Structure formats: C-alpha cells, structure tokens
Amino acid sequence: MDTKFILAGKSLSDLEKFMIDNNQSKFRAKQVFNWLYLKSLKDINDMTDLPLSTRELLKEKTSLCSITLKDKQISKDGTMKFLFELKDGNLAEAVLMRFDNRANLTACISTQAGCAMGCSFCATAKLGFKRDLDSEEIIQQIFLIQSETGLKVTNIVYMGQGEPLLNFDNLISSIKIFREQFQVGARRITVSTCGIIPKIKELAKLDFQSTLAISLHAPNQEKRQKLMPVAKKYKFDELIQTLQEYTQTTGRRVTVEYVLMKDINDSVADAKELAIAISKLKSNVNLIIYNQNEKSNFKKPNKDTIQKFKYILEASGKKVTIRLERGADIDAACGQLSSKYTKTDVHG
Ligand code: SAH
C-alpha cells in the first residue's frame, strides 16, 4: 500500500511523468490534474473522461491521498472543522469558514502537527511539537476539504496548527501548488507567523505576493515575551524593523494580528503604545477577541474595551478589523485547534 504513487499534491509535470512511465498519453495527466484540484474528486472511478484502462491502472498503482479524514464537526454558524490523520498516526486539523454571504470559502490549514512555539494563551501550544507536515500533507488538507464538501476553496490562511515559517520549504512549495494548480490567487493566501525574523527576511527576497500576517499580541518587548517565548529570541524592535524592511522590499502591506486578552494587553495605554510602535509600519490591524477555553486562565475583554482599543488605533490612522468569531462551539475558533483526540483515542 505504502509504495503506491500518491496523486493529490503532485504537480502537473509529476503526473505527466507518471503517465509516460506507465505508457499512457501525456495529456491524461492534465485530466487527472483537473479532477484533483478543480473538481471535488472522491474516487478514482469518478474520473469518467478517462478510459477504463487508465482508471484501472490508476486504481492499481496510485492512491488519491495519504492523509485520511478522521472526524468532521459542523458549527451552528456553518464553520466546519476537519481532523486528519497522517500516515504515521499524527493528527492535524483544518477549518473551513464562510465570512459573509458571498461565494468566498476560506480554509485555515495546518503546517505542523502540534507547535513548538509555546505561546501561553494558545491551545495548540499545549500539544507540544510533533513534526512538520510535508508539502503533500499540507496540500491534501485542501484536497480532502474539497472532495468532502463538494465545494471549491477560494481563500487559504496558514493559521492552523504550527508555525509556517519554521516549515519554510514545504510552505513555499504548497503555496506554489495552490496558486498554479488549485488556481487560488496569491492575494487570497495569507501566512501567519509569530515572528521568525530570519525567515521573514528570506520571504522578502522571494516573489511572495501573498499576505504576511504577524501575531504581535503585545505593544512592547516586555509584555510580548511574557506571552510568547519566541519573543525572547526575536526581539520586538528588531521584528518591527524587519517588517518595515519587508514592506519596503515587497511593496506589500502586512497585517498585524493582536489577540485581545482581558487585563493582559487590552488597556488604553496598550492601545496607544501599540499605535506608536506600528505607526511607521505599512500595515492593517486585525484584532482577534480571545477565544476562551476551559484549559486556559485567559479571558476575553468586554465590548467597551474592545471598541475603545479599536478607536485608538483608528485614530492613529490604521485600518482596523475585528475578526469575527467562527466555530467557537466546536473549538474551531482561532487558536483552539488542539486535537482533542490523542493517537490512542483515534485508533480506538
Ligand atoms: N504560528 C503562527 C500561526 C498560528 S495562527 C502564528 O503564531 O501566527 C493562529 C493565531 O491564533 C495566532 O495569531 C495565535 O496567536 C492566535 N491564537 C492562539 N490562541 C488563541 C485564542 N485562544 N484566541 C484567539 N486567538 C488565538
């Protein structure tokens, strides 16, 4: 079984090579490829425009996907959470949400099983780090979401489990496949990072046309390093400086993400300090209201506090959005992807 050629996640040239090696005409690859990425394929038999002999060959020698869907939950607001099992038994989660009534469908995907960053407020951090996902495993999350729902994903956010910039090569190759194969525009892809400075510099050198979002979450070094251990290594001022250079090089605005937590980082003084800290940074601000969970002592601020925080940043000239809460009732909300299952649970 393991030696089968996995289809989902392959580039067109990989598929063409496979077809040629198996005495099929090269253009069959393009047909398979359209089924894989642009339609919602569930079964090799469903590729009805392929000759029966090609389908038989594919059934014998290939397998659609190496990860499997273990569980799916649907929230009252329509948000869906998917739990995937990887071939070695590790787990990864993804979320599918609709932000408005338009056709946009946003998938939030994972780049690692667990996370090594240890942010004190984050549920994923409690899992610890298991391993990087390879680019096929990253891509297959979208493939399985599409085949499971019959819907085409239009926007992708790398905001699930893990730190994308610490799985850099697989991040970049998966984005390439999403752009070229799934036909998701670069501007509809967002990568969120806790601030790995050398990798942000590396990104700036690439032709990276997607949006970079930075989990800042604090207005200064002292507060940030209490919440996010990564800040001890990559300091606040240097991070802002690096982001400024990034915007200059790429011409692209960054998104500053800021999770508002009651009595931690939500005061008027915090808002003013944040406004000054990012005043020279070409950026929009995305305020995230803390999603509470039973294992955490952090709480969300009240509505007044949130509005005041927003106004102060807006008065400083920033465009500010408040992230809508999605899927909270199924723990699919931001920062809640913690795989309630353990490996043993899944295997029964
Ligand atoms: N490691 C990357 C990608 C994770 S994105 C990063 O840090 O950006 C997940 C986002 O949700 C991060 O901004 C994270 O800080 C935030 N988050 C974590 N726990 C949260 C919670 N309980 N409520 C709201 N946001 C949370």
Cα 341 to middle of ligand 1, angstroms: 20
Would the pLDDT of 16 be above 80?
yes
| Ordered DSSP codes for 278-304 | TTTS-EEEEEEE----TT----PPPHH
Q: Using CA atoms, how far apart are residues 289 and 170, in angstroms rounded to an integer?
A: 30
CATH number of 68-347: 3.20.20.70
Tokens 């029964």 — which residue?
A: 348
CA of 307 to the centre of ligand 1 (A): 21
| Helix, strand or coil, per DSSP, at residue 207 | coil
259 lines ligand 1 (CB under 6 A): yes
**CA dihedral of 121, 124, 130, 134, whole degrees rounded to 10:** -120
Enumerate the domain spans of the chain.
Answer: 5-63, 68-347
pLDDT category at 335 given cuts 50, 70, 90 is: low
Ligand 1 atom 5: residue of nearest CA: 159
pLDDT tier, 270 (very low <50, low <70, confident <90, very high otherwise): very high
Q: How confident is the model at residue 227 (pLDDT cuts 50, 70, 90)?
A: very high
* Ligand 1 pocket member 290 (CB < 6 A): yes
What is the value of pTM for the model shown? Answer: 0.94
Q: 58-97, pLDDT tens digit by residue?
A: 999 999 999 999 999 998 888 999 999 999 999 999 999 9
Q: Is 138 in the pocket of ligand 1 (CB under 6 A)?
A: no
Please identify every residue annotated as catalytic: 93, 334
Kindly give the distance from the C-alpha atom of residue 208 to the centroid of ligand 1, in angstroms, as a whole number: 22
Q: How far is the CA of 39 from the centre of ligand 1 (A)?
A: 31
**Ligand 1: which atom is nearest the Cα of residue 228?**
15
Which tokens go with 6? 């996995």
Ligand 1 and 121: CB distance under 6 A: yes
CATH top-level class of 5-63: mainly alpha
**Where does the pLDDT of residue 332 fall: very low under 50, low under 70, confident under 90, or very high at 90 and above?**
confident
| Pairwise CA distance, residues 159 & 165, whole Å | 11
